[in-house]
A and B are shown apart, each in its own frame.
Chain A
Amino acid sequence: MKLELRGITKRFGAMVANDNVNLIALPGEIHCLLGENGAGKSTLMNVLYGLYQSDGGEILLDDKVVKFSGPGDAMAAGIGMVHQHFMLIPVFTVAENVILGHEPTKFGGLLDLEAARAKVREVSAKFGFEIDPDAIVGDLPVGVQQRVEIIKALIGDAKVLIFDEPTAVLTPQETDELMAIMKQLRAAGTAIVFITHKLREVQEVADKITVIRLGKVVGEADPKSTANELASMMVGRAVDLDVEKAPAKPGQPTFKVEGLSAWSHAGTKVLDDISFEIHEGEILVIAGVQGNGQTELTEAIIGMHGKTAGSIQLDGRELIGKNVKQVLDLGVGFVPEDRTEDGLVAEFTIAENLMLDRSDRKPFAKGLNIQIEFLKKFASEKLKQFDIRAQGIESKASQLSGGNQQKVVLARELSRELRLLVASQPTRGLDVGSIEFVHEQIVATRDSGIPVLIVATELDEATQLGDRIAVMYKGMIVGIVPSSTPRATLGQMMAGISA
């Protein structure tokens, strides 16, 4: 089935999320919709899927104008969607999730779960998935959950399939498998719209590429374009994706972790005898699929994790047993993985967020009083220095874009006298411009002779930013390798196979 979007416009208040967007997806074709975070890709697809009503333009299926007042209409018309945040109910079984919305019934109303199971098995077999229809979705690994989401989209006999940022949560292997599935679907005659900002994936599967920036289509790109060409189109200026950094000049190993173990609240071992060291002026990247102990490692370092054993030493001083404040005072800078939850107080102003860590001491405070004048001066300086785009220092953190929020966090953490920087997924969800900025800041920190620990879940970032890479799997370090190690080897290590 041919899908055509003609002049789609969607506004949220004064903001134009989609401005006169045109797009044609043909059967047996993978059409990539490429754009940065916030470019309006997901909005466009939500309009197509009936979740949003457009303010202008029309949707055509096989050259006939269709009108969707809700996702039910879109599904009935043969459009399926694999959502970025899975639309699965964790406590339901696979079969229950898959049939939701168009449940087979018997005796007028009773669920026919046997028919549901049969359908799941049928689609699973067709694509070589091994999925138990009676498994509880919440118990399944993320990669398998995505397959459930795919089955759910296919079961309604979808002719047009939308994949919204499907690889964000996958390991490199799972990503490869997903690409294979997409090719298989293409061969079967499905029209596929693939939304992403990852250039490598676009280069691998795209038959056509439409680039979207600030809600507008900026043009089509040749699938054979280089990554830098695609990125430049996406961002609207020349971009060099490679991280510019001189070879490291490692000094003394001032940060040492030895035999570190940690247990979760429920008593499970989440870190298992971890040892590594980082030299002054060196970046060590912890690579691995999310949820393999990286969060716990950073928490253990800054004193936020409950039960830990072993040793963490900075400049010869033991960090274990110290509370967060004591650790920070020893010169540890921390950029948490979730900036809106842990990095900032969303309802505080930029200025207030910039002094969160030192609000109790000079020069920010004198006795019980906050030194407002000093704070204003300090915040204005940081606003300029870190190129934070905001109306002013009194803007609330929640009003900033992701990139600017991250800049506020960096500005705060880097304005202390550091002896160690720990940054967890520092570029997650950021636009290319902000990513460049964050990378520059991290490299500059390294070059000033500070050991840097980065947690990365994307291999590209790990190999570009790191001087060495430690791969984590199930709470253990599989190996520590140079950043020149081939992708395939790193991918295997991320699945627990040591090099």
Chain B
Amino acid sequence: MKQSKRTPIAVFILTLVGLWLFVSAPSGVTEIKISTDTDIFALPNFNLDIAFVSGLAFAAQVVAFLGSVYFVVIRNHKTPRWVVILFAVALVFEILVGLFAGKTMTFTSLLQGSLALAVPLIFGSLAGVLSERVGVVNIAIEGQLLAGAFVSALVASLSDNLFAGLLGAIIAGALVAWVLAVFAIKYVVDQIIVGVVLNVLVVGLTNFIFSTLMVSNLPFFNQPPRFDKILIPLLGQIPVLGPVLFNQTLIVYLMYVVVAAVYIALFKTRWGLRVRAVGEYPKAADTVGINVFRTRYVSVIIGGALAGLGGSFFTLGQVGAFGKEMTNGAGYIALAALIFGRWNPIYAAFAALLFGFAENLQYGLAIIGSSVPSEFLLMLPYALTVVAVAGLVGKVTGPAASGKAYIKS
């Protein structure tokens, strides 16, 4: 069988971008700061010569391109993943160094910001994974996140209790998912339409309550406490990654646990086998005595609960108050992350981190006053999604019965 030439072509086009960056690289240096105050030992800052680094990165891209051509055309083999990763790292590094030309790039805070942006995406993509793996398309991730954000702010403000807020968020997300499940499973309505309608509904509902109720007494209704960052001793003091991963709020630590738990539940347990069976071929599951409807309800609602929890990160983890439509499309990016991550919780989490990184770049650059237009940077995460999904990921097949209602005869 002949291999598709899509990857070499995608790599070639992106290498041209790399070439252009190299040719137009300004002279000068980019300073990279990779240590923080809390580290066990301080790593020195690097001064990178832009032209030199660009050249090096471009050379790596050319090598990756030739490698990809070698594997696909000569060996008639798929492009190995490491070639793609080498290429991506080289190109991203070249872009970064170019963008921060003459400035200081604080690497740690760049990553911290990326993770912060990725947290709701990761929770959202887990909701999507749980839902689609059982055969229900979950477009309503956005609504579940927003409901979680809103309810957690409201409940935490009223009760002055963070954990009550978290619980409220979980219930809110689960409730949105329950509505999705009832319409998708019981009333066999088109799942994409229900999802979109739910998103619009939650936006409308939260905007309405915000404007009519919350605004009247903000300190009472919309001034929840916030989770403090907890520095984990030793782990949190490892240079570069320590402060990024282990100096975080409780919600982030919960996220680590939840990603692992969802992965284990889906792929290592009896429950997960049944969930995947229902998402692939519900009739086959039915004929061995698995309750298709109940399995679908449970998985979709657990997913919604996780998305709700993720929504609370906007309010209780970051901003400290609810704002209209504050999820700002995160649910849709989470959807892309779960497809990019091939319906696998761990891959989806990494995909979400990548999107978080792309999004954070625009903030980082805005702060240092980069010459690149901010509109272009705003586009970056989405352009990255398209290129990543179309060119580098290749053909992915989701659960076979995803989006299809099961009708018992």
Residues of A near any B CB (own CB < 8 A) = 49, 51-52, 70-73, 75-76, 81, 83, 87-92, 96, 99-103, 105, 109-111, 152, 266-268
Contact = CB atoms under 8 A, between A and B. Distances in A.
B33 interface: no
- List 9 tightest A-B contacts by C-beta distance, closest first: A72-B289, A101-B288, A267-B2, A87-B284, A103-B270, A87-B287, A89-B280, A109-B269, A89-B281
A109 B121 CA distance: 29
B257 to A, nearest CB: 17
A92 B288 contact: no
Interface string B269-283: 111111011001101
Given A87-B284, A87-B287, A91-B400, 8 more contacts: A51-B286, A72-B288, A72-B289, A101-B274, A101-B285, A110-B268, A267-B1, A268-B1
B273 A111 contact: yes
Given A71-B287, A268-B1, A52 B269 contact: no
A73 B290 CA distance: 11
Contacts of A110: 268-270
For B285, B289, B290, the residue with the greatest tally of chain A CB atoms inside 10 Å of its CB is B289
B286 A92 contact: no
16 contacts: A71-B286, A71-B287, A72-B290, A73-B289, A83-B287, A87-B284, A91-B400, A96-B273, A100-B288, A101-B274, A102-B288, A105-B269, A105-B270, A111-B268, A111-B270, A267-B2
B409 interface: yes
Nearest to B3: A267
B290 A266 contact: no
Contacts of A99: 273
Interface string B386-409: 000000000000001000000001
A43 to B, nearest CB: 10
A90 B409 CA distance: 23
Given A90-B280, A92-B280, A111 B269 contact: yes
A283 B286 CA distance: 45
Interface string B1-31: 1100000000000000000000000000000
Per DSSP, are chain A's interface residues mostly helix, strand or loop, or mixed? loop
B280 A100 contact: no
Nearest to A105: B270
A100 B290 CA distance: 9
Contacts of A71: 286-289
Interface in B282-300: 283-291
A162 to B, nearest CB: 11
A103 B281 contact: no
A81 B271 contact: no
A96 B267 CA distance: 11
A88 B284 CA distance: 6
Contacts of A103: 270, 273
B287 A91 contact: no
Contact of A100 (B1, B2, B277, B291): B277
